[in-house]
Structure 1
Amino acid sequence: MTADGFTHLGDQSVYRGYIWEVVVGSFRDPVGNEFTRDIVRSPGAVAVVPLLRDDDGSLSVVLLRQYRAAFAREIVEVPAGMRDIDGEEPEHTARRELIEETGYEPGSLRLLHRFYPSTGMTDSVLHVYLATDLRHVGREMHGPEESHMEVFTVPLAEAVSMVVSGEIADAKSTIGLLLTDRLLRGLDNDVI
């Protein structure tokens, strides 16, 4: 029994892929009723908001436009990736994914937030980082989506406007960009 009165009785695996596993979880509620839920088990993921300081001192963010098969179209988002290497710490995954997707290596990574992207269907945890002091080292592309993605920069204020207008609708990107904007409004830009 857990503190909230619900008991997890076990899982039955119905599908196991390269990264995800779909299970039927069995549970008992506080009054003894048993029920099941379909759950996607996930190793989690990371997202990175990479900031560049422009020659005039303003800040730009590195974004991606990449094909997403689930939507059958290109999506604008921040760099991100699955925690698909056993035992790899989220910060290391963030560094690796940023280099693979953009060619930038961060001098500094700061955890902005850790969130649950879809509590009704998955146990995934997503870590969002702010990357600064970027150094271009070259991309290490993997897979068809990465080899065809567009890497581009926009002023941070424009990226926030893209969130507000719906041009950027991806949850991890929305959270990362809005938290970055909020953080920077409270700090001297010389800190970054």
Structure 2
Amino acid sequence: MSKKRGLSLEEKREKMLQIFYESQDFYLLKELEKMGPKKGVITQSVKDVVQSLVDDDLVSKDKIGTSVYFWSLPSCAGNQLRNVHQKLDSELQSSGKRHAQLVEQCEELKKGREESDEREAALEDLKAIQSKHKELKSELEKYRDNDPAAFEAMKEAIEVAHTSANRWTDNIFTLKQWCSNNFPQAKEQLQNMYQEIGITDDFDYLEMAPLPSKALAD
């Protein structure tokens, strides 16, 4: 024997509404929980089903003293349906107006964009101008090396690098002197180490050739 199918939420809502419509009376939740099973709605579901009806304004709820009462009349449901219908009708009209506005805007945007010889010629001119702009921009890049601002920046960078290199040369000479003073017996070993790391006899400060005062022209 197949198991009996339970009621869906919508079916439970309809069953609970029947209780209100048939009696047109006021109920406490505990009373509804007792009446629900008679309509096929289990006690544990009654509270959630009734609350969903309250949320949709199909059932009214009010606190009187310390008790909370629920009620619903067929006329209330009719009013609710009329309100929903009016709301949907208003939204439909608004959507229709918006659609008409968009169609009108679309038609306005099309004006002046009709295919014509003048439009084709204008588009060709635009492409030619864009191509020329790209060409000139590329040509400008070739002369960046002669840009005075770029030249001055490069000149400053060279001077900073030269100063830094000689500062490190100073540090190396200071370190060599310190090693000689503190390890005189290791003079030969130190000399070999200097040779291995590139500090040869001709190691000295860097001299920088004079830089031109401005970028050279082609």
Give the structure-1-normalised TM-score: 0.20
Larger Rg: 2
Give the structure-2-normalised TM-score: 0.18
Between Structure 1 and Structure 2, the one with more strand by share is 1
Between Structure 1 and Structure 2, the one with more helix by share is 2
The higher relative CO (CA closer than 8 Å, separation ≥ 6) is in 1
